[in-house]
């Protein structure tokens, strides 16, 4: 790699990595080398690399996963997510969130059915890993919701249709704060996890109809929990 010596080194490193992403050299979902290797490659300190990664993450070009590494993000999904958040801020948040859940009820059962038809061993292993994390995180809302988010995104990825993931990711992402509140509705997390197991089982058996039905039941439960939460806030 080119050695950089100007004052704002992190901006140059960020620009270099950004160029590799835009050119397609670094693909969506690809893991970047660790901080140490990047620092050695550019001849700078790890702190400088950290600043560059922060800048790229702020622009939505990479995502940092704790304990896993830094990955090339989908900038289109980020843009869609920003648009959703802006739309939700207009016209009443609670009302719009209910409509967003309805969109999930329209889309995700079909997505689950397609995932059951197309998922391979790697996709099923990823789904199992997230379900296992949730199983051990009933006392940790942040860990549970993060795994829940990854589970639903992984189902979308299992369809082998990147446009499905592009559309679904921002919808699921925008609902994260609402899901944290639902976590504390009595038995909500346990009920959700029971449906996660049913969805996983159907996908693993490549039973499309069962996957559709399990996802439909799961989102019906989510809708019911949101109603319970709304009544409690009246």
Q: What is the pLDDT of residues 26-67, one digit of tens each?
A: 877 888 999 999 999 999 999 999 999 988 887 778 888 877
Give the pLDDT score at 8.
78
Sign of the Cα pseudo-torsion (70, 125, 145, 136, in order): negative
pLDDT tops 90 at residue 118: yes
**Mean pLDDT, to the nearest integer, of 216-222?**
94
As a whole number, the mean pLDDT across the chain is: 83
Domain with CATH 1.20.120.530 in the chain: 75-232
Q: What is the DSSP letter of 90?
A: S
Domain with CATH 1.10.10.10 in the chain: 9-72
The encoded tokens of residue 64 equal 């940092």
Higher pLDDT, 113 or 186: 113
CATH architecture of 9-72: Orthogonal Bundle (1.10)
- Per CATH, is 75-232 categorized as 1.10.3720.10? no
Would you state the pLDDT for residue 225? 85
């Amino acid at each position: 790699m080119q050695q950089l010596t100007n004052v704002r080194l992190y901006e140059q490193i960020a620009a270099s990595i950004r160029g590799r992403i835009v050119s397609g050299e670094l693909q969506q979902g690809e893991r970047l080398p660790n901080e140490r290797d990047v620092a050695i490659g550019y001849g700078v300190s790890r702190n400088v690399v950290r600043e560059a990664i922060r800048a790229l993450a702020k622009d939505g070009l990479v995502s940092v996963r704790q304990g896993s590494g830094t990955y090339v993000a989908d900038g289109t999904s980020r843009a869609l997510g920003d648009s959703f958040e802006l739309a939700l801020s207009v016209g009443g948040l609670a009302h719009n969130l209910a409509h967003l859940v309805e969109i999930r009820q329209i889309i995700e059962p079909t997505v689950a059915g397609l995932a059951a038809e197309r998922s391979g061993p790697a996709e099923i292993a990823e789904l199992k890993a997230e379900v296992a994390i949730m199983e051990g995180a009933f006392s940790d809302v942040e860990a549970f919701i993060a795994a829940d988010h990854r589970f639903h995104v992984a189902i979308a990825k299992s369809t082998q249709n990147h446009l499905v993931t592009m559309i679904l990711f921002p919808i699921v992402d925008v609902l994260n704060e609402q899901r944290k509140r639902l976590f504390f509705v009595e038995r909500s997390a346990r009920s959700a996890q029971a449906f996660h197991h049913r969805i996983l089982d159907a996908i693993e058996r490549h039973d499309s109809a069962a996957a559709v039905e399990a996802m439909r039941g799961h989102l019906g439960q989510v809708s019911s929990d949101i109603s319970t939460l709304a009544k409690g806030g009246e």
